[in-house]
C-alpha cells in the first residue's frame, strides 16, 4: 500500500504570493502514477494553481465533487477543457439548483455554474455508489442517504420545481483514503456534520483505524463549548491528524492549535500532506 500525497490547490487562505486564494476548495491527490482532484473551487483559478504547483502535467483520472455549491464546482468546465479525458464523480442531486438565504432575507444562487449544465452529456452521468477512483482513494456516495430531509430553516436551500426546501445535502459525499497509516477522511464542507461523516466512514471501513481529517468542517461561528465537543468527538474516533481548511473558520483552527497541537496540521494553499 503506497503513500498518497495530498496537495491543497484551492483554499480560502494562501500564504504564497504566487498562489491566489479564493473562497473554495480543491485538493489534488497522487497515488502512484494516478492523480485526481477533489472539488474545483469557485473560479478558473484552479487551472493556474495546478500549473504553479507543478501538478498539471499528469491529467487527473477523476474530478470528484463533494456537493453542489458554487465554491466547489465552478472550476469544473475549465478543468475539463484542460483535461477532456477526466471523469466526473458526483451524486445526482448535485444537479439540483441551490440557493442561499443571506441576512435581510436576500436570496442568491449558490449552485453549480450554468456552464456545468452545458457540458457534454457523457460528463453528466452521476454516481450514487461507493467506489474506488484511483488506488486507495474511494468516493463515499451520499453521506446521509438519498432521501434525507431537513425541517430546520437555515441558510441553505435546494430548489425542487418551483419550491425551495431546506437543504439536507443528500448530494454531499466525502473521499476516503486508505493507506498503511489508516483511513483518512477528506471533506468539502461537512454540511451534514461530523457525526454523520464519521458514521459513514465507519460504515464503509468498519475495521480500519482513522488517520487524518482534512478539508472544510463548516464551523464558522461556533462557540468554544461546541469546539470542545467537536474535538472530543475527533479524539474518540482515534483521528491522529487534522488539517482544517476552507469553511472551517479561524476560531476552530486557533482552538485546535491551542488545545490539540499534536493533532493540528497547519493548512493553506500549497500545503501538502502524506496520507
Residue 159 banded pLDDT, cuts 50, 70, 90 = confident
Query: Which residue would you say has higher pLDDT here, 2 or 13?
Result: 13
132-136, 153-157, 271-275: which range is least confident on average? Answer: 153-157
Q: What is the pLDDT of residue 183?
A: 98
Cα separation, 35 vs 86, whole angstroms = 10
Cα separation, 275 vs 260, whole angstroms = 19
CA 218 from centroid of its chain's CA atoms:
11
Q: What is the pLDDT of residue 153?
A: 62
Average pLDDT over residues 134-162: 86
Task: Tell me the domains of the chain and their CATH numbers.
Answer: 5-274 (3.60.15.10)
- Residues with Cβ within 8 Å of residue 126, at least 6 apart in sequence: 90, 91, 92, 94, 95
Q: What is the pLDDT of residue 1?
A: 79
| Tens-digit pLDDT profile for residues 4-28 | 999 999 999 999 999 999 999 999 9
| Tens-digit pLDDT profile for residues 33-45 | 999 999 999 999 9
Q: 175 near 130, Cβ under 8 Å?
A: no
In sequence order, what are the beta bridge partners of 226? Answer: none
Residue 160 banded pLDDT, cuts 50, 70, 90 = confident
Residue 167 pLDDT greater than 70, yes or no: yes
Cα separation, 235 vs 241, whole angstroms = 10
Residue 147 banded pLDDT, cuts 50, 70, 90 = confident
215's grid cell: 478539508
Q: What is the pLDDT of residue 148?
A: 77
| Tens-digit pLDDT profile for residues 69-107 | 999 999 999 999 999 999 999 999 999 999 999 999 899
Strand 175-179 vs strand 241-245: parallel, antiparallel, or unpaired?
unpaired
Q: What is the pLDDT of residue 162?
A: 81
Average pLDDT over residues 207-222: 96
Share of the chain above pLDDT 90, in %: 91
Q: What is the pLDDT of residue 96?
A: 94
Cell 458526483 -> residue? 90
Q: 128 near 141, Cβ under 8 Å?
A: yes
**CA neighbor of 184 nearest in space, from 275, 74, 85, 61:** 275
Residue 164 banded pLDDT, cuts 50, 70, 90 = confident
| Tens-digit pLDDT profile for residues 218-269 | 999 899 999 999 999 999 999 999 999 999 999 999 999 999 999 999 999 9
Amino acid at each position: 500500500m503506497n503513500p498518497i500525497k495530498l496537495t491543497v490547490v484551492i483554499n480560502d487562505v494562501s500564504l504564497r504570493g504566487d498562489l491566489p486564494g479564493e473562497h473554495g476548495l480543491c485538493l489534488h491527490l497522487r497515488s502512484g502514477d494516478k492523480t485526481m482532484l477533489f472539488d474545483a473551487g469557485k473560479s478558473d483559478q484552479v487551472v493556474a494553481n495546478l500549473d504553479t504547483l507543478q501538478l498539471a502535467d499528469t491529467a487527473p483520472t477523476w474530478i470528484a465533487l463533494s456537493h453542489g455549491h458554487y465554491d466547489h464546482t465552478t472550476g469544473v468546465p475549465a478543468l475539463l477543457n484542460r483535461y477532456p479525458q477526466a471523469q466526473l464523480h458526483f451524486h445526482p442531486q448535485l444537479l439540483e439548483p441551490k440557493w442561499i438565504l443571506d441576512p435581510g432575507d436576500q436570496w442568491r444562487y449558490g449552485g453549480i455554474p450554468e456552464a456545468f449544465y452545458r457540458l457534454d452529456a457523457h460528463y453528466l452521468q452521476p454516481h450514487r455508489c461507493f467506489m474506488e477512483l484511483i488506488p486507495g482513494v474511494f468516493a463515499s456516495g451520499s453521506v446521509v442517504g438519498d432521501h434525507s430531509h431537513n425541517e430546520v430553516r437555515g441558510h441553505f436551500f435546494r430548489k425542487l420545481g418551483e419550491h425551495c426546501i431546506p437543504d439536507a445535502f443528500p448530494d454531499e459525499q466525502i473521499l476516503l483514503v486508505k493507506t498503511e497509516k489508516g483511513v483518512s477522511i477528506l471533506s468539502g464542507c461537512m454540511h451534514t456534520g461530523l457525526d454523520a461523516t464519521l458514521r459513514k466512514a465507519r460504515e464503509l471501513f468498519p475495521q480500519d483505524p482513522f488517520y487524518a481529517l482534512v478539508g472544510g468542517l463548516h464551523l464558522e461561528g461556533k462557540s468554544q463549548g461546541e469546539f470542545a465537543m467537536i474535538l472530543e468527538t475527533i479524539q474518540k474516533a482515534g483521528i491522529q491528524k487534522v488539517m482544517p481548511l476552507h469553511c472551517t473558520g479561524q476560531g476552530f483552527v486557533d482552538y485546535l492549535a491551542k488545545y490539540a497541537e499534536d493533532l493540528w496540521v497547519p493548512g493553506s494553499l500549497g500545503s501538502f500532506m502524506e496520507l
